[in-house]
Amino acid sequence: MNQEREGKTGDESLSIRAEDLASIANKFAEQGHFEEAVELYERGIKLFPQSLAMKINLGKMRNLLKEKDEQERERMMGKFHEERAGRDRLSYQFSAVGELYERKGQDERALQCYHLALAQNPSNERAHLNLARFFYKNNDFASSIREIRSLLAINPFIPEAHALLGRALFYLKNHRAALASIVDAMILDNAAGRAPAPELQEKFKYLLEKLGISSKAARSELVKSRLALFNRCMTQLDLQKSSVLGRGAVQGLHEMSKGPSGDEARQDLLKLALRLRAFELLKELSDESLFTVAKAARQIKVPEGGLVFDENDEGDELYLVERGEVRIAKKTPFGEQRLALAGRGEFFGEMNFIDPSHRSADAIANQDTELFCLRRSDLEGLFETRKDVAVQFYWHFWKSLSQRTREANNLLETFFDESEATTKISLAPDEADRSKAISIDLDKKIKVLQERGLSSKELRLLAAFSGEELYNQNQVIFREGSQGDKLYIILDGKVRITKMIPGVGEEALAILEKGDFFGEMALVDQEPRSADAKAHVNGTTLLTISRSVLNEILSVDVESAYQFLSILCRILTQRLREINLKIIQWRFMAGGF
């Protein structure tokens, strides 16, 4: 018989068909026994080596087995985290109860609770510190020192722990070690902007005299040596954080010394503000707002080939290029895929500034580059009090994201033979007439728009000035290449955003649902539409806002303008992340070219 249909086992009198083997394997799979199903298909391929169906089914079963294993790992990790969280809760509760007993003078019970807290979580800093205080109070200095050293091995940046260690060592007459711990406590207090306790300062002076450290140079050398230890610890944290969050995630944690003060600091701030004024993003800000931004700005130098951030980073930083050039790129098995380029006067990183998440690509310096870095968390206060500043930022973000989204859409076509390029088709007159103008109740409009987080003032404005259109499944809303002057909001139904890719055909870029915006790019740059939009289901109802109405909305009230722009920017950010992922997927489809 044909090998596709029948194979021979070791016993020539016994034969089995490929369909029978597949049926048995599938029954195993239906019961969740994917290991057995994989084993059967592997044996089946040996019996039927030419069977394409066997090979395809084996691949499917291996994928199912992998998914099962991943689900099991996730379940186990979830169980572990749940148990760990439970133990942590118990640990902190025991520690808190121990403090209550200690305040009531029930020392034995307090001690028992502290030990129970550490049994549940040996890294409970509060329990270690409570135990250290308890032993110190009871003049058990050796036990106190042991607990403090255990605590500092977990977290070396607790001033109170260093101060307590210094006091305990002092009473044991270990004067040199006591001085080192007291200096550590004073360094950490200074870094936190606090003055050391007077009692600690007195012990510091006494120990300097006791140890014969009288010169200013010797005292300075002592402080520098202790500060160097903290800086080395900070460097290790830099490396650890870099390995977890990405090589570009940390920029100099170890600066603990004071910066310039007084007139020098004001002059430096003025010079920095003047440099920042050169950026299009910031040039319209008032002097007061610009100084606030300058205070938050951090200057970074990146050598050629250096990494600003990688796609594993979770930072919320925005970067402004003062000198040099940075490329945004993603690694693939076929080499690097460049997604964007930022040169002098431009910015990048705005996607995570708008919507913090994992970065979607690496940022690499094409040459020696100087940057300004602005964290969203450092500017939130300014945005809350000065909405006009927030609007300035988000208006530029919207323009940048729209341009990058359009460029990303166009990049998709470069993976295929240009000779196969599809001619862009304008919307035919009969297609343009298919949409049906309808009237929607004002309250229904407002209910949908509320789900997008707009203010009540903005809701009334949008609802009052928007038009309404109705489309049935596959009806064209607009075509790629046509001129656009409308923003659309889906009131009901779904919309499919597609693009004709040479050699592939129509590819869906996104399926948008109720409450989603689309068509916003044409309102920013007035360029032709970069993709097709079609109704995905019958009864798709859209609200439409023209360019002139949008301009009116943005000029009516700065609070509403900020909310409206921030929503649009979040939508564009999510869309650009999706398109960047498709670029990588389509590079695979195009064979890596």
Each residue of 19-57: pLDDT tens digit? 888 888 888 888 888 888 888 888 888 888 877 778 888
- Highest mean pLDDT: which of 283-297, 447-461, 554-568? 283-297
- Residue 3, pLDDT > 60, answer no
Residue type, 426: S
Burial of 557: CB neighbours in 10 Å, binned 0-12, 13-18, 19+: middle
pLDDT-based confidence at 503, cuts 50/70/90?
low
Give yes or no for a contact between 528 and 482, defined as CB atoms under 8 angstroms apart.
Answer: yes
pLDDT value at position 495? 94
Q: Among 296-300, 489-493, 573-577, where is mean pLDDT lowest?
A: 573-577
Report the percentage of the chain scoring pLDDT > 90: 25
Distance CA 142, CA 144 (A): 5
Q: Which two tokens stand for residue 86?
A: 């439970």
pLDDT value at position 79? 85
Distance CA 143, CA 137 (A): 11
- Residue 326, pLDDT > 60, answer yes
Cα 238 to the center of its chain, rounded Å: 18
- Residue 447, pLDDT > 80, answer no
pLDDT value at position 147? 93
Alpha helix positions (H), 138-197: 141-154, 159-171, 175-191
pLDDT-based confidence at 463, cuts 50/70/90?
low
Q: Among 23-27, 176-180, 437-441, 500-504, where is mean pLDDT lowest?
A: 437-441
pLDDT value at position 61? 85
Residue 525 φ then ψ, to 5°: -110, -5
Strands 317-323 and 307-309: unpaired
Q: Which two tokens stand for residue 531?
A: 């993709």
Q: Among 82-86, 399-403, 426-430, 497-501, where is mean pLDDT lowest?
A: 426-430
State mean pLDDT over 406-426.
58
- Residue 245, pLDDT > 50, answer no
pTM score over 0.75: no
Residue type, 91: S
pLDDT value at position 244? 47
Q: Which two tokens stand for residue 344?
A: 């002098």
State mean pLDDT over 117-134.
92
Distance CA 290, CA 276 (A): 8
Residue type, 344: R
Where do you find CATH 2.60.120.10 in the chain?
A: 266-385, 421-556+563-576
Cα 461 to the center of its chain, rounded Å: 33
- Residue 451, pLDDT > 60, answer no
Strands 436-437 and 369-375: unpaired
pLDDT value at position 535? 94
Q: Among 177-186, 278-287, 351-360, 550-559, where is mean pLDDT lowest?
A: 550-559
pLDDT value at position 348? 94
pLDDT value at position 423? 46
pLDDT value at position 457? 53
pLDDT value at position 347? 95
Distance CA 573, CA 541 (A): 24
Distance CA 360, CA 579 (A): 11
pLDDT value at position 419? 43
Q: Among 323-327, 494-498, 551-555, where is mean pLDDT lowest?
A: 551-555
- Residue 200, pLDDT > 60, answer yes
Give yes or no for a contact between 428 and 532, defined as CB atoms under 8 angstroms apart.
Answer: no
Report the percentage of the chain scoring pLDDT > 70: 79
The highest-level CATH class for domain 421-556+563-576 is mainly beta
Distance CA 484, CA 522 (A): 5
User: Hey, what CATH topology would domain 1-122 get?
Assistant: 1.25.40
Q: Among 13-17, 178-182, 340-344, where is mean pLDDT lowest?
A: 13-17
pLDDT value at position 580? 81
pLDDT-based confidence at 256, cuts 50/70/90?
very low
Residue with the bigger pLDDT between 436 and 12: it is 436
CB atoms within 10 A of CB 212: 8
579: left (phi over 0), alpha (psi -120 to 50) or beta: alpha
- Residue 363, pLDDT > 50, answer yes
Q: Please name which of 475, 474, 461, 471 lies closest in space to residue 491, comparing C-alpha atoms.
A: 471
- Residue 258, pLDDT > 60, answer no
Query: Does 266-385 carry CATH code 2.60.120.10?
Result: yes
Where do you find CATH 1.25.40 in the chain?
A: 1-122
Distances (CA, A) of 338 to 111, 286, 409: 61, 36, 14
Distance CA 180, CA 78 (A): 43
pLDDT-based confidence at 239, cuts 50/70/90?
low
Q: Among 417-421, 454-458, 476-480, where is mean pLDDT lowest?
A: 417-421
- Residue 146, pLDDT > 90, answer yes
- Residue 123, pLDDT > 80, answer yes
Distance CA 564, CA 370 (A): 33
pLDDT value at position 236? 63
Q: ∠ CA(525), CA(508), CA(405), 5° rounding?
A: 25
Q: Among 276-285, 483-492, 513-522, 534-543, where is mean pLDDT lowest?
A: 513-522
Q: Which residues contact 158 (CB under 8 A, 6 or more apart)?
A: 125, 129, 151, 152, 188
Distance CA 148, CA 154 (A): 10
Q: Which two tokens stand for residue 422?
A: 């599809």
Q: Among 180-194, 202-216, 523-537, where is mean pLDDT lowest?
A: 523-537
